[in-house]
Amino acid sequence: MPGKIRVVVVDDSALVRKLLTRMLESDPGIEVVATAPDPYVARDQIKRHDPDVITLDVEMPRMDGLTFLENLMRLRPMPVVMVSSLTHDGAKVTLQALELGAVDFVTKPAQQLSVKLEDYAAEVVSKVKAAARARVSSRETYSGEAREAFRQRVRESLREAGAYEARSTGGRQKVVAIGASTGGTEAIRRVLECLPPNAPPIIISQHIPASFSGPFAERLNGICSLTVREAENGVPLMPGHAYVAPGDYHLRLRRDGARLVCRLDQSATVNRHRPSVDVMFESVAQAAGSESVGVLLTGMGRDGAEGLLQMRKAGASTMVQDEASSTVWGMPGAAVQLGAAEEILGLEAIPARMLALAQGDTARPA
């Protein structure tokens, strides 16, 4: 992007506004053109400065962040990075913000942990830079009629593929592994909420903080026909279930006799992430090999690309989300560069193809 990324920081705390401004402007490619203590001031600053990105506090006086975000995405869609508290309620509200069209989120800076502020600053800078490159739709926020239309189209393709037909108990389903980062909470939701209750077992690694993975799994469980839960150590995979890696834990697949089970650990971060998609995919390649399907969705960086290549070398079916439907085509694009992806598909086409492969369709892409 030519020139500096222009940012407006919106937060009711003067201290947080100052802290975020200092962190963002530590990068020579970013300029904070204005700050605002509430959405009303923010509206005027956005009109005046026409920023590339805004950071938006979830909880503010006069108008809450969700209401402002919904109005903004309807009237003037632009990249938004939410700033959220680490509470359970803060996580639930942030997940709603992502559904309304926010690109990503960061948690509130922990002022008492100054030793970690350098790492926090790096995260804020990288997420704002990714947001500046992200695709923000001016046509829909994937809620209301647009969301229902998407679901109907996907379900029709699933019916055409026979996904809702009863499978014989002797039929062996493959395990599906899904990895994602920026934009991934919504991409995962839009895939899982269309799946039938007889779907194969699914494991998921989404880059997400520890306090957010539980509410994320709860939210998915409430809207999906599948049972969605946080993964637990030693839990065997079951059809009709999806297992989300807890934040700050790697999720690995291990073979325990005839069963495949979840294994969790807090070994070193990989690609600066825990959970890491590479860690999960590489474990799937070893434990399940050709009896698996790897799916890499939208995300910043390269995590998952090498692991997906290992899955493909082990005989697994592999696919990535295409650039047009991705919020950020970093991880899927890196996988394509490595030759890890057998198929590049729009998000709408992924559920039916994923299920077909997991249920035994051996036809390879042309």
Catalytic positions? 181, 207, 303
* Contact call for residues 88 and 211 (beta carbons, < 8 A): yes
* Contact call for residues 175 and 288 (beta carbons, < 8 A): yes
